[in-house]
Amino acid sequence: MIQVIQILILGIALGGVYALMSSGMTLIFGVMRIVNLAHSAFIVLAAYLAFFVFKTFNIDPIVSMAFTMPVMFLVGVIYYRLLFASRADNPRFADITVLVTFATALVIEGILAFIFTGIYRSTTPTYAKTSINFGPFFIPQSQLYALIISIVLIVGLWMFMRYTRIGNAIRATMQNRNAAQVVGVNVTWISTLSFGIGLAMAGAAGSLLSFVFTFYPAKHIAWIGMIMCLVVLGGMGSLVGALVSSFLLATAAAYVNFYFGAAWSPITFYLSLFLILLFRPQGLFGKKVEG
Amino acid sequence: MGTLVVENVVAGYGSGPNILKGLSLTVESGKAYCIIGPNGAGKSTLIKVIAGLLKPREGKIFFKGEDITPLRADQVLQRGLCYVPSDRSLFPDMTVKENLRMGGFVMRDTRKVDERIDELFAQFPILKEKSSQMAKTLSGGQQQLAAIARAMVLKPEMIMLDEPSLGLSPKVVQQIFGTITTLRDQGLTILLVEQNARKGLQIADMGVVLDLGTNSFEAPACDVLNDPRIQELYLGKRHQAVAAEECK
């Protein structure tokens, strides 16, 4: 029984980071219908940024969020403006985004491999090596910090979307792009901003997972599959959905990992993807996509 | 000099053909105009061009003497020219009140927006009743009312309605047209696009017939209703007697 609860604790701890990783992707899809296959590559890029400032200036990876988030925000704004803004009205926009973002992911991977080589990296702040014990249970300190910060960021994003004028404009654009234009929302501006916010979340995720996981330039391939599963399971575009599915699947994967072995745990994600597509294709919290 | 002047506008979508082919139209302040015409004549395109949602390829649009052709949609709204699209275009997962708040998006003063919403709730009690319901749960007629109210949040001088009767039952259509008549009587300038030509012309002062992207016929609504060619083309012969009778 102790073991069962311990696995639950570890699953939940990972779920927070997963949720942060998928939140940006679901936001970007929701507002712009961009299937951002480069999302995990941007996360890896941010992880390397955190790694770089940790190695060079000895800046703590949590503190480095103050650097990775704005940098990735800017990257997102420029990236969207350069490659997507002028194509938003193209009837094949979604197809275009899949190809363009996949190409982007490969380019990022190549550049990172060139600069940092393919060696496994991670940042090693002191809290990355210790665990907090309570009774018979433990939680790695790094995962606890990552969990708390992830939740704070996601709740912050959710409140921003709910209670601010700009956040309402983002939600309005997600629900009905035409209507948003009709009431005077500059949807190009909102899209640019949302892409920036989405990548800022990727930036935060990069900083946090730099001390939770090890990473290498091609790691994004493994992560994008997982993130896609989380986003589709939650309902593409739904922030709450991404959060719930992250905790569900992270926990499920932790149990599979324990009882069947690590090799089987990715199956958890893909199996759930098949099941959700069979029985509820719009996802747990998704809206049926119009048109 | 009309309040809205459309001058030789040529417009189309993407790299597609011209839908509007040199259309001119003058709308006078405080009057209701009904635009009729077959599918593909460019009725909705005209409204989108005026609202600033589609840039014309040629021509100019003036509102109250100002050239609004280069303005963005939000800037056109701020000039007092609002638009209700044919699909109502509400935000389905926002409440009625949130939808109305979005109507005031270009006003930065949220307190003013809320005051205005209270006024509109007094005018449309059914919306007040449903104010905390999601827009997608409303009936078609209620959605249309909400869309009109959302446009009215900005206290516009002119409102453009694209097919307000679309998909509504005759009884509900009657109510919606009653609402539009009230707005007209309050002095609002109205530009109405309507497939239901007879109904639209009955509440309008002027009728405009679009055909193939140009303004082919413009006359007082009564004359349009009674014009034998129009009756044959758009109203159906059997309405002839009724139309003549209902016209003042």
pLDDT in tens, B126-182: 999 999 999 999 998 899 999 999 999 999 999 999 988 888 888 898 889 999 999
Q: Which residue of B has its CA nearest to A89?
A: B14
Which residue, among A206, A190, A174, has the nearest Cα to A42 in the 3D structure?
Answer: A206
Looking at residue A288, its pLDDT comes to 63
Is residue A105 within 8 Å of A36, Cβ to Cβ? no
Within a domain: A291? no
Within a domain: A284? no
Give the contacts of B51 (CB within 8 A, at least 6 positions apart): A182, B73, B76, B81, B83, B160
Looking at residue A225, its pLDDT comes to 92
Number of domains in chain A: 1
Residue B88 has pLDDT above 90, yes or no: no
Give residue limits of the domains in chain B: 4-246
Chain A residues inside the 8 Å CB shell of B108? 165
pLDDT in tens, A86-121: 888 788 888 899 999 999 999 999 999 999 999 999
Q: Which of B72, B83, B91 sits opposite A175 (nearest CB)?
A: B91
C-alpha span between A75 and B110 (Å, rounded): 33
Looking at residue A138, its pLDDT comes to 92
Q: How far is A56 from chain B (nearest CA, A)?
A: 45
Q: What number of residues does chain A have?
A: 291
Q: How far is B23 from chain A (nearest CA, A)?
A: 23
Residue B85 at interface with chain A, using a CB cutoff of 8 Å = yes
**pLDDT tier at B19, thresholds 50, 70, 90:** confident
Q: With a CB-CB cutoff of 8 Å, which residues 257-286 of chain A face chain B?
A: none
Complex ipTM tops 0.90: no
Q: How far is B106 from chain A (nearest CA, A)?
A: 6
Within a domain: A230? yes
Chain A residues inside the 8 Å CB shell of B98? 168
Residue A89 at interface with chain B, using a CB cutoff of 8 Å = yes
Q: How far is B89 from chain A (nearest CA, A)?
A: 5
Pick the CATH number of B4-246 from 3.20.20.100, 3.40.50.300, 3.20.20.70, 3.40.50.150: 3.40.50.300
Q: Which of A177, A182, A187 to mutate to test the interface with B (most CBs of B within 10 A)?
A: A182
- What tokens does A43 get? 């996360």
> Could you list the residue range(s) of the whole structural domain that residue A66 is in?
2-279
CA–CA distance from A60 to each of A14, A69, A116, A139 (Å)?
A: 20, 14, 19, 20
Residue A164 at interface with chain B, using a CB cutoff of 8 Å = no
Within a domain: A167? yes
Q: Which residue of A has its CA nearest to B79?
A: A184
Q: How far is A248 from chain B (nearest CA, A)?
A: 25
Q: Which of A168, A183, A186 sits opposite B72 (nearest CB)?
A: A186
pLDDT in tens, B217-227: 777 877 777 77
Looking at residue B194, its pLDDT comes to 87
pLDDT in tens, B23-59: 888 898 888 999 988 777 788 889 999 999 888 999 9
B7 membership: H or E segment, kind and range: strand B4-11
Q: What number of residues does chain B have?
A: 248
Q: What percent of chain B has pLDDT over 70?
A: 91
φ and ψ at residue B32, rounded to 5 degrees: -105, 125
| Cα-Cα-Cα-Cα dihedral sign, residues B8, B9, B15, B19 | negative
Chain B residues inside the 8 Å CB shell of A170? none
More confident residue, B113 or B41: B113
Q: How far is A169 from chain B (nearest CA, A)?
A: 8
C-alpha span between B246 and B248 (Å, rounded): 6
Within a domain: A50? yes
With an 8 Å Cβ cutoff, are A175 and B77 in contact?
A: no
Bridge-based pairing of strands B20-27 and B66-67 is unpaired
Give the contacts of A283 (CB within 8 A, at least 6 positions apart): A232, A233, A234, A235, A236, A238, A241, A245, A276
**pLDDT tier at B18, thresholds 50, 70, 90:** confident
Within a domain: A258? yes
With an 8 Å Cβ cutoff, are A183 and B105 in contact?
A: yes
Looking from the CA of A232 toward its CB, the CA atoms found within 13 Å total 21
Q: With a CB-CB cutoff of 8 Å, which residues 18-77 of chain B face chain A?
A: 51, 53, 72-74, 77
C-alpha span between A212 and A14 (Å, rounded): 9
Tens of each residue's pLDDT in chain A, 291 residues: 889 999 999 999 999 999 999 999 999 999 998 999 999 999 999 999 999 999 999 999 999 999 999 999 999 999 999 999 888 878 888 889 999 999 999 999 999 999 999 999 999 999 988 999 988 999 999 999 999 999 999 999 999 999 999 999 999 999 999 899 999 999 999 999 999 999 999 999 999 999 999 999 999 999 999 999 999 999 988 999 999 999 999 999 999 999 998 888 888 999 999 999 999 988 888 876 543
Within a domain: A103? yes
